[in-house]
Structure 1
Amino acid sequence: MLYKLEKLMLSKRTLPVLVIFLITGILGAYSCKGKVNDNDTIGRQQQLLQYIGMVLERDHYSPKPIDDAFSKLVFTKYLSSIDGEKNIFLKKDIDSLNGVFGTKIDDEIHGDAPMLFFLTAFDMLNQRIGKVTKIYNDVLSKPFDFTTDETLPASLDSVDYPSDDAAQLDIWRKRLKYQTLTRFVDLQNQREKAADTSSMKKKSDAALEKEAREAVKKMLDRSFKKFSRDNNEAQQYSLFVNTICHIMDPHTDYFPPAEKRDFDNEMGNKFYGIGAQLGQNPDGSIKIVEVVKGMPAWKSGKIHENDIILKVGQATGEAVDISGYDITDAVKLIRGAKGSSVKLTIKKALDGSIEVITLERDLLKQDELDARSAILERGGKRLGYIYLPEFYYDFSDPNGAQCARDVAAEVEKLKKDHIDGLIFDLQSNNGGSLSEVNKMVGLFVNQNPVVQVRDRNGNSETLNKDGQATIYDGPMLVMINDFSASAAEIFAAAIQDYKRGVIIGNDSYGKGTVQRQMAIGKQNANGEPEFGALKLTFQKFYRINGESTQRKGVVPDIAFPDVYAFLKMRERDDPYALPYDKIPAIPYNLWKSSYDEAKIISNSQTRISKNPAFVAMQKNIDWLTSNDGKPINLNIIKYKEDRANAAKVNSKDDSLMVVKNPVVSKPATANYDKFYKNADTSKGKRYQDWLKNVAKNIYIDEAANTMMEMLGAPHQTPIDNKKK
């Protein structure tokens, strides 16, 4: 996520105040056209909807006209978001809604009609949920016959909404049968491997089939309970507004107040909570796994490992019973604003007693998400390795988290240990702050520019490294993959265009747009805007060579087999993504390297093509691609045959995925205590485990091989395990 607050309209200091003031004034004086429901909540929602529609048309980088065609897109996408598997609504429900609202949603957005579509769809959804709950309970109350020949479509793309009740029942029956069949076959396999004296060995097929059905029912009960809990009018309204935003482009988002806080905290790598790691018991209850020293839970002296959290309450209002919650949802309730109170109803592991404990939230020290480094030793060379999970920056605190500063610190530590080359790992880094990536490029490139940006009016601006001093000029390699996005792509593209280093991995995600956040409404006591915020796409960015990364991404110099390509999860696979284009290049000078780049790339690609692990990986990819979309057999004999064939192709010899001659991975001298003498022993253990994983990672191993060749040193030849 590329996120820019600097230089939007005025300065960093004045802009947030100006934007909040401006939006507050607009909303305060904004009058809705048409009829507004007398209910205050709905009236405010309609007012906000009109305002967001106005901003999208006025300020979005490439706004689609909000007309009847736009209305049809919103209609289809919103219903898909609430019934993606097309098994809740009937076709007549969709036709009924379409007849009334199909071309009227644009009128609701403009205020020329009352906001009724999402409310009507929401009411209809709640009615249908009760019906499908009865369906799955009835279907799962009777044994399945796995001897009949029938199939289930693997893809929902060609599936329409069921024509009537009978068709809906048949859809549910087949999907439930498939879920039960997979569990039933798993249980049969467990029985086959069980000891002769075990109770599992003695279970009949009928008993296993019943056990499988009960497991499916329990899973659905939990899912529908969660759905019922989360499916309120406010959530559906947020989903509806975001559907409208995402028709404009996938990265324009509306954040209700609580979600805005979460987004800001994530950007700043800053969270406020109680300092406890949570886990889940087999019965679904949430338990305390670890209490972090120095944090509120630890300071209270009242919360201990294996205590169960029954309820979570805020300073005011009723506590929420979290039975059936997953860990993510429980964490959302426990976290909050700095200094605010949270009330936990705890069942003590020691004696089963129940106590309500009030804690004050404090800043959580989540340095596991910060930039981190290691030294990889191979063949007498010391390779620096830096992993950066995101381009974080705390916009609320100039002394807060800043990834460019942290990366610079890690580079300096590695330099003190006399590294010969540097591997910079941006795999799965989904972006972050534009100003931070500009500064970070400056750490490694001693010249400008870094990137170009262009607004909706075609005005282009060249962004530089903001006076950042270059601190490392040695050989460099950057790792990317399918999920390296936005700011990560700016960095990789700049390194590639300057020929500052070699890029290895897979085509990156392909997000080439810039967003700004606009707070909506007056601030509350916690400093949060009354109506949340709109994150709006208002610029595209371009490489210094003039190319956009939008949809195209950064194409690596050296490519690994792409295990995610067939899943179609990149920007280019989103129908609402903005198009790729180019603008004129700007002058820049190439970096002079001592190695033969073409030879380095060719040799690495040859090693990858002969590495047994990557060969097996490519074989799996080819099989998955060729079998994608094939119907699923519900006959147990055919299902087992398909499963066996898949296992033959997809099973990896685990030894192939293990590096036989791994690098020696260790922390920089300056980081030794953090890894091996950490006062928080569990955190130190996590750092040590990370080091071990780095050493045995096959992608990092090939990156190390490539770096060795860049240094003119012998690389590590992969071992053909099949010959062994």
Structure 2
Amino acid sequence: MHYLNFSGFIKGAVSKHCSGVIAVALFVALIGSGVSASISAASALSAQPHHDQTLKYVNYFVERYHYRKTRLDDPLSSRILDRYLDALDANRSYFLAEDIESFEALRFELDDYLGSHNTDPLFSIFNRYRGRVIDRIDYALRLLQQPFDFSVDETYPFDRTEAPWAIDAAALNDLWRRRVKNDYLVLKLEGKQEEEIVDTLSDRYQQQRRRILQISSQDVFQTIINAYMSAIEPHTGYFSPRATENFKIRMSLSLEGIGAVLQSQNEFTVVQRVVPGGPAELDGSLRPGDRITGVGQGDGDPIVDVIGWRLDDVVDLIRGPKGSIVRLKIRPDPKTGKSESHILALTRDQIKLEEQAAQSMLLEVIGPVEVRRVGVIDIPTFYVDFDARSRGDADYRSTTRDVRSLISNLEREGVDGLIIDLRGNGGGALAEATELTGLFIDSGPVVQVRDARGRTSVNRDPNKGIAYAGPLAVIVDRDSASASEIFSGAIQDYRRGIIIGEPTYGKGTVQNLINLDPYSKDQEQPLGQLKLTIAQFFRINGESTQHRGVVPDFVLPGAGPDLPYGEKALDNALPFAQIDAAAFSRFADSGVNLEQLREVHSRRVIDDPDFTYLAGIRELDLALTQSTEVSLLENQRKAERDQRETEQQRIFDNLKNAYGFSDDADELSEDLPRDAVLLESARILTDMSIGSLGDRLVVQLVQDTTAPLANAEKHHNEIGQ
């Protein structure tokens, strides 16, 4: 992805209805009735002065440069309304049917308002939504003061995405009574006592109340524009100034701050962990669990109390230029028994987010006679420090540079084959996909790009030479998208290596980031960025990855249930297309017989303990995903839980027994369950590189510079700064 700056005279749009202003006023009055008294007119959110300017440029760029020819008209207006309501209340748990009926007045009018850079009606919808949310939370808190009868045979419909809207307040009250009852039952089944359950749920609902009241006009505006953009095409979107900054951090894998990961707990900002090598770790005073209650700048600025603040607002105060000082008021973790607050002064520095960078490990594949070493490089995303590169910094960070270094390290260790793991990699910079491919081919085209005018260009390997010429495999799954599909598709087309895993996501479009800040009338007020779909990419064989994705040479199951997924599951994605193939020469023919390798692989996985375990868990997960409601009978829920836990334990016991652990073993290997797909990929690659070593190959970890082979689910619900 690149930043694009366009210049030109942009004319303001004029509504085709001269009575538009009157219509807005009438609509606001219409939906304003019946809104919670908790939201007064004084606290209602509205568009800020710079929003109309931002929308003006959004309209301009979308109409002129989007790959899909777009008109802001009545059909698009209808889709925008639906997307916006889904963004606010996808589970249909807050709005009433009468609300939705009143919003219908806007179905074919939003094109006029947005064309005139007017978002007032959409802000009014949000204010109605916020009032409804507060009403629901207040009702939930009142419900906690009364007992629940778990012997009544009723259900809670937790998935209401296709359900009708609640007809009136009584129907919504009944839905929420069952929702709170379910929340209570979940904790009760965990063994918690009544007082603890009430306290836990009360804290949870109060936190939700605080969050809805902390939403800003900028948040609402971003939601509005993204509803507008997603109604055009799934991958076009808008980044607010704050979201833009976070995007840059994700792409550059660096930021300037103190090196701590923070999260919200009730009204406090709490240290979740410190980043290795950052100022916080080097100082040694800040510890996980500590609460940041105040922030001050420099040596003399006053400490600002941040209790009750939004997490990202606190982070904005803590981040700052390298070399500057920030003072934190720290209340120690309550678990330490200490209660006295203290002031901690830290000098900000550049923090490198190494956990999100490409990393490597070394595996050994042990056969009857020979032992082979396989290097693995895990690439979470195709990152590049755009700003550093544009400044001409010689040592800017990128995926390709990191992978080249990792390859050199692995080759010094001695490897017989290399695996590139792209599972979960949703893409990133287009140029990085091209350059990374160039590490494995000498020269040639990597991807073809067709713009909105139908012009096709070819992105070629920019550097002659090969960083690694040995046996190669690429692992993908259904979350591997975009740049991951460019890389894996090129490797497959050149027959440079084999692709293993699930069919990929199926995203075949190119986005550019358009920086809107230069167009701001007030240079102190940034406008954010527009992520605009400007082209479609095609493999060098002429096929698009759109909808179809990249189909692996060896299809292995992933961890998720087999459900409709990816680009083909989206209702307004671009269709599949095909163009002429580019001129290219395949990599030297290795003489590999894929059918023979597939036969060996198939025999191996039939009784493989790791794949048997994976299949069992997938089957259990599929049963859960097919349900849309749960019983509120305590005895039935307990029986269902016990049955599920028994089945999970049975599947795990079979895995333990297969690896020689007894059912009642006190200590279990930390490597169970293991990464079945990675281990089998190493076996397949070994078969390919030296011929089949047999049906039973043992794979073990030799050197780990990344994560263990054990599957680990990561939850990213915190903000680093």
Q: What is the alpha-carbon distance in structure 2 between the residues aligned to residue 610 and residue 528 of structure 1?
A: 64
Tell me whether 1:442 sits opposite 2:438 in the alignment. Answer: yes
Partner of 2:470: 474
1:238 paired residue number: 222
Distance 1:609 1:284, change over 3 A: farther
Q: Which residue of 610, 615, 618 maps to 1:613?
A: 610
1:81-109 CA-to-partner distances (Å, cap 9, x unmatched) read 1122212111101111222x121110012
What SS class does the counterpart of residue 683 from structure 2 fall into? helix
| Structure 1 residues 360-371: aligned runs within 5 Å | 360-371=347-358
Give TM-score, length-normalised by structure 1. 0.81
Question: Which of 476, 488, 505 is the matching residue for 1:492?
Answer: 488
* Cα distance change on mapping 1:454 and 1:609 into 2, 3 Å: farther
Change (3 A) 1:171 1:549: same
CA contact (8 A) 1:611 1:718 kept: no
Which residue number in structure 2 is paired with residue 372 of structure 1?
359
Identity of aligned residues (%): 30
Tell me if the contact between 2:253 and 2:352 (Cα under 8 Å) persists in the aligned partners.
Answer: no
1:643-690 superposed Cα distances (whole Å, 9 cap, x missing partner): 34433544464355679789xxxxxxxxxxxxxxxxxxxxxxxxxxxx
1:257 paired residue among 230, 236, 241: 241
- Residues 453-483 of structure 1 show CA distances to partners (whole Å, capped at 9, x for unaligned) of 1111211111111124212221111111122
Deviation at 1:300, TM superposition (A): 6.2
Deviations 1:529-588 (A, max 9, x none): 721111111011111111111222212122222332446452222223222222222233
Asked if 1:269 corresponds to 2:267, the answer is no
Instruction: Give me the whole-angstrom Cα distance separating, in 1, the residues matched to 2:538 and 2:166.
Output: 46
> How far off is 1:704 after superposition?
1.4
The one of 147, 151, 154 aligned to 2:155: 151
Partner AA of 2:67 in structure 1: Y
> How has the CA–CA distance of structure 1 residues 525 and 594 changed in structure 2, closer, same or farther, with 3 Å as cutoff?
farther
Q: Relative to structure 1, is the Cα distance of residues 215 and 125 closer, same or farther in structure 2, using a 3 angstrom cutoff?
A: same
1:672 maps to none
Query: Secondary structure at 2:387's aligned position in 1?
Result: coil
The letter for the 1-side match of 2:107 is: G
AA of the residue aligned to 1:228: L
- Give the SS at the match of 2:466: coil
CA distance in 2, matches of 1:30, 1:341: 44
Secondary structure in 2 aligned to 1:435? helix
Counterpart selection for 1:296 from 279, 287, 308: 279
What's the counterpart of residue 390 of structure 1?
381
Q: Which moved more, 1:487-496 or 1:410-419?
A: 410-419
Q: Cα deviation per residue 1:147-180 (whole Å; 9 max; x = unaligned)?
A: 1111223532331211101001011011111222
Distance 1:85 1:506 in 2: 30
1:703 equivalent in structure 2: 681
> How far apart in 2 are the matches of 1:525 and 1:659?
69
Gaps of 5+ in 2: 26-44, 390-394, 661-669, 699-721
Q: Deviations over 1:279-326 (max 9, x none)?
A: 777x77444465557633356676456542113466889836245867
Aligned-residue RMSD, C-alpha: 3.5
Q: Aligned residue for 1:228?
A: 213
* Alignment check: 8 A CA contact 1:31 1:47 kept: no
Q: In structure 2, what residue type is equivalent to 1:80?
A: D
Aligned letter for 1:105? L
Correspondence 1:40-119 to 2 at 5 A: 42-99=48-105, 101-111=106-116, 114-119=118-123
Which runs of 5 or more residues in structure 1 are unaligned?
A: 6-15, 189-207, 663-691, 720-724
Q: Does the Cα contact within 8 Å between 2:90 and 2:161 map onto a contact in 1?
A: no
Displacement after TM superposition at 1:336 (Å)? 4.9
Q: Give the 3-state SS of the residue equivalent to 1:588 in structure 2.
A: coil
Match of residue 167, structure 2, among 163, 174, 180: 163
| Conservation of the 8 A alpha-carbon contact between 2:47 and 2:123 | no
Alignment of 1:541-556 (within 5 A): 541-556=537-552
The alpha carbon displacement at 1:277 in A equals: 4.5
Could you tell me how far apart the structure 1 residues matched to 2:529 and 2:383 are?
Answer: 19
The answer for the alignment partner of 1:347 in structure 2 is 331
The Cα offsets for residues 472-497 of structure 1, whole Å up to 9 and x where unpaired, read as 22111111112211111111111111
Question: Which residue identity lines up with residue 109 of structure 1 in the other structure?
Answer: L
Deviations 1:226-249 (A, max 9, x none): 2222x2222111110111111122
Q: Does structure 1 conserve the Cα–Cα contact (< 8 Å) formed by 2:47 and 2:221? A: no
Separation (CA, whole Å) in 2 of partners of 1:645 and 1:339: 57
SS of the aligned residue for 2:439 comes to helix
Partner Cα separation in structure 1 for residue 114 and residue 183 of structure 2: 41
Distance 1:44 1:304, change over 3 A: closer
Quote how far apart the aligned CAs of 1:43 are: 4.1
Query: Following the alignment from structure 2 to structure 1, what is the Cα–Cα distance between the partners of residues 479 and 276?
Result: 34
User: Does the aligned pair in 2 maintain the 1:620–1:649 contact within 8 Å?
Assistant: no
- Aligned counterpart, 1:680: none
Say whether the 8 Å CA contact 1:337–1:526 is kept in structure 2: no
In the alignment, what sits opposite 2:184?
Answer: 180
Q: 1:643-654 to 2 correspondence within 5 Å?
A: 643-651=641-649, 653-654=651-652
Q: How many residue pairs get matched?
A: 648
Q: 1:527 to 1:115 in 2, by over 3 A?
A: closer
Structure-2 separation of matches of 1:369 and 1:716: 36
> Deviations for 1:191-249, whole angstroms, at most 9, x for unmatched residues?
xxxxxxxxxxxxxxxxx3554344333222222222222x2222111110111111122
SS at match of 2:292: strand
1:123 to 2:135 alignment: no
Q: Is the 8 A contact 2:328 2:345 kept in 1?
A: yes
Closer/same/farther in 2, CA of residues 256 and 337 from structure 1, 3 Å limit: farther
Deviations along 1:32-52, one digit per CA (max 9) or x if unpaired, are 767889999644312322331
Secondary structure at 1:552 match in 2: coil
1:504 aligned residue: 500
Of the structure 1 ranges 477-486 and 342-351, higher mean CA displacement relative to structure 2 is found in 342-351
CA distance 1:336–1:78, change in 2 (3 Å): farther
Residues 402 and 220 (structure 1 numbering): CA distance in 2 closer, same or farther, change over 3 Å?
same
1:257 touches 1:528 (CA, 8 Å); kept in 2? no
Amino acid in structure 1 at the alignment position of 2:201? V
Q: Deviations over 1:6-51 (max 9, x none)?
A: xxxxxxxxxx5x53xx27x64xx75776788999964431232233
Does the 8 Å contact 2:561/2:619 carry over to 1? no
1:356-382 deviation digits (Å, cap 9, x = unpaired): 555453210222322222221233212
For 2:182 and 2:206, how far apart are their aligned partners in 1?
A: 17
Name the counterpart of 1:683. Answer: none
Code of the residue aligned with 2:225 in structure 1: it is V
Matches within 5 A, 1:202-221: 208-209=193-194, 211-221=196-206
- Structure 1 residue 121: deviation in Å? 0.8
The reply to whether residue 589 of structure 1 matches residue 585 of structure 2 is: yes
Q: 1:659 to 1:285 in 2, by over 3 A?
A: farther
* Aligned-partner Cα distance in 2 for 1:270–1:235: 24
| Matching of residue 717 in structure 1 with residue 688 in structure 2 | no
